[in-house]
Structure 1
Amino acid sequence: MARKPRIEYCGALYHVLSRGNQKRPTFRTAKDYEDYLGRLWRYHEKFGFVLYAYCLMPNHIHLLIEARDVPLSKIMQAVQFSYTQSFNRRHKTVGHLFQGRYKAILCQHDEYLLELVRYIHLNPVRAKLAKNPRDYKWSSHRALLELEKEPRCDVSAVLDLFGKRHKEAAKRYEAFVLEAIGMGHRKEFYQVKDQRVLGEDKFIAKTLAKEENEHSGKIFYKVSLQEIIDAVAREWDIPPGMILSPRRSRLGSFARSMIAVLAKSVSGMTMKEVGRHFSKGESAMAHRYRALEENFAQDTGLLKRWRRLHDLLIAGKPRKICLNAYPKNK
């Protein structure tokens, strides 16, 4: 089954989980952790999202983010892409650092905010990296206890829920966290509805209805799939017959992936529609789509060529309204 698009709107609360590629470490040294946190906070200042909590584990990260004017997809692309480049330069490595698409669970704010803050900060204890969460340096727990000179999370957004005076509120917050120190993995925080949403039935129904209503009018362009195929064939000098051939070839597979990304972003086509043209299933095309998007994070040259081709395809073309399309932000 193809993954459903993310639900994005101002005020949405997300529990973000991103794992290292093939479970490999995403942080090797203290400098790596500092680098990631520095980038996360700089983009926090730039994009204006609320960062309730974070925990950087050796091979994965947890973030609790409330998006505001800038959607989560843009926030995560900026943080993950810039950190991956920096990590690869520093350690003289290449390729993907993070595994596929990060998981972002849209959560009911009032019901799950504090529970998720606690759960995220207890990750090092569950992993036996610390006996007490205040002993783990790479989470926002210490900042909420006001033990850090330069906190890199929105301290007031959490402590204000425990009282007006931060000193007393921090004590109440710590007591709240330690109450659950013996709990193991909380699978209920991952049992989501519609592959994307965590909350009560009423919240889920309202959220999905909101998505349907608010995202039903994205503007695309009247560009045919054949025009996109021809443009990709010219740009990379790939014979059209190779693109359409059922035989497996590296160039043909790359071309179909590029066509899928362009068809969705330019014309609003679904992966089912694109796959039908190539006699491929929806899931197969969705996989190619995601794989190429991940390559963009590693290959800025390829990303520039994609953008240039995108602009060439839409130049002078009339717009169209594509109903019920998800507004993917790029």
Structure 2
Amino acid sequence: MPRVARRRNPEIPHHVMCRSITEVTLFKNDSDKIKYLQLMALYCKKLKCSILAYCLMDNHVHIQLDPQGCDISKYMHGLNLCYAQYYNRKYQRHGPVFQGRFISKVIDEDEYNLIVSAYIHNNPKNLPDYSDCVDTYRFSSYGIYLGIHHDYYGMLNTDFILSQFSNNYDTAKTVYTDFVSSCNNVTQKQKQFEIIDAYVSKDPYEYRSERYIYYRDLTPRTVIETVAEVFGIGSPDFIKIKYSHSVSSFKAISIFLMRCLCDYSYKDICKEIGNLTLSEVAKLSGKGFTLINTDPKYQKLLAQLFERIRAA
């Protein structure tokens, strides 16, 4: 039976769920959950997207993913492949870890974002130690929303959800807590929307988060030319020079941005640039990612790139 085409929209949030195969516990201990969160954060940085809510249970995961223009399949494939490789190495096993494809649902109504957030944050309620205190569960984003836990991974956007509840940060947290509790046993969508009407503020949140969309329809040539200009390189065609340490950083960052903003595969980049193997492209992409995220000289380059492209 053919697979049903997945409904996707890279500009709006998705509710994503994935589960382990029957005979496997997806997270055997806390260190496994920490590893998965680290990988979530890594791929948020690599693909320039963010998380609105998450909850990691022993055999499944819920993620409210804001793709901000990226392909959610690319995000989830990279995340789950890396985790499966880690899991199989650690537990000396082979074969699949996840049960088929991940499940995703486009959240195409603003109010439904609130319902999904509450649903995800109520997930630990069936655990004996958390039935009355889901906010204290370490591997859910709920505690971060309420200030109980710190966002150590830097991937969570709490403003977008909280902004719907009050124009004051402390009030928003309090009202959001009541809202999540009120959704605890509600399963019918209509009733959930009635609850939303009772809780959602009519006033805008004073630091309301604007969801930024990184449009991924840029051409590789646009990226290369813009990065060359930022670097002060005379000709963007220098990227085709195979052995040149002087343009190594330029080449690495251009390749990373082609992956991120043009949605190009390593194979596509090989064809675009030439004179590079797949492994060389992968290595350079990793170097570009590291430079943009750790080197002060390049950390603002992405913003500069968009400014120059918009001005063009």
TM-score by length of 2: 0.56
Alignment of 1:81-230 (within 5 A): 81-128=81-128, 130-131=130-131, 132-150=133-151, 152-183=155-186, 186=187
Counterpart in 1 of 2:6? Answer: 6
Distance 1:145 1:153 in 2: 13
The corresponding residue for 1:70 is: 70
2:236 corresponds to: none
Q: Deviations over 1:99-123 (max 9, x none)?
A: 0111111222313100110011111
1:9 touches 1:68 (CA, 8 Å); kept in 2? no
Alpha carbons 1:159, 1:173 under 8 Å: kept: yes
Tell me the distance in 2 between the aligned counterparts of 1:55 and 1:84: 18
**Paired residue for 1:273?**
none
Give the superposed CA RMSD. Answer: 2.4
Deviation at 1:57, TM superposition (A): 0.6
Q: Aligned residue pairs: how many?
A: 191
Counterpart-to-counterpart distance in 2, 1:5 and 1:31:
35
Aligned to 1:203: none
User: 1:129, 1:97 → 2: CA distance?
Assistant: 27
- Give 2:28's aligned residue: 28
Q: Contact 1:122 / 1:133 at 8 angstroms: preserved in 2? A: yes
Percent identity reads 27
Distance 1:44 1:97, change over 3 A: same
Aligned partners of 2:135, 2:121: CA distance in 1, in Å? 9
Deviation at 1:92, TM superposition (A): 1.6
Task: State the one-letter code of the partner of 2:32.
Answer: D
Conserved 8 A contact 1:52-1:155: yes
Task: Return closer, same or farther for 1:23/1:181 CA change in 2, 3 Å cut-off.
Answer: farther
Distance 1:22 1:70 in 2: 30
Matched residue SS, 1:17: strand
CA distance in 2, matches of 1:80, 1:107: 22
Q: Which runs of 4+ in 1 moved over 3 A?
A: 126-129, 186-189
SS at match of 2:22: helix
Q: Which has the higher contact order (CA 8 A, sep 6+)?
A: 1
| SS class of match (2:130) | coil
Deviations 1:221-265 (A, max 9, x none): xxxxxxxxxxxxxxxxxxxxxxxxxxxxxxxxxxxxxxxxxxxxx
Residues 75/59 of structure 1: CA separation in 2 closer, same or farther (3 Å cut): same
Report the Cα offset of residue 58 of structure 1.
0.4
Give 1:18-57 correspondences, 5 Å limit.
Answer: 18-22=18-22, 24-57=24-57
Distance 1:34 1:111 in 2: 30
1:16/1:129 Cα in 2 relative to 1: closer, same or farther (>3 Å)?
farther
Tell me, what secondary structure is at the counterpart of 1:163? coil
- For residue 84 of structure 1, what is the amino acid of its counterpart? A
Q: For 1:22, what is the secondary structure of its paired residue? A: coil
Q: In 2, distance between residues paired with 1:26 and 1:187?
A: 29
> Which residue is equivalent to 2:220?
none
Unmatched tracts of structure 2, length 5 or more? 191-265, 272-312
2:39·2:83 contact (CA, 8 Å) conserved in 1?
yes
AA aligned to 1:162 is F
Deviation for aligned residue 1:129: 5.1
What TM-score, normalized by structure 1, do the two folds share?
0.53
CA contact (8 A) 1:23 1:59 kept: no
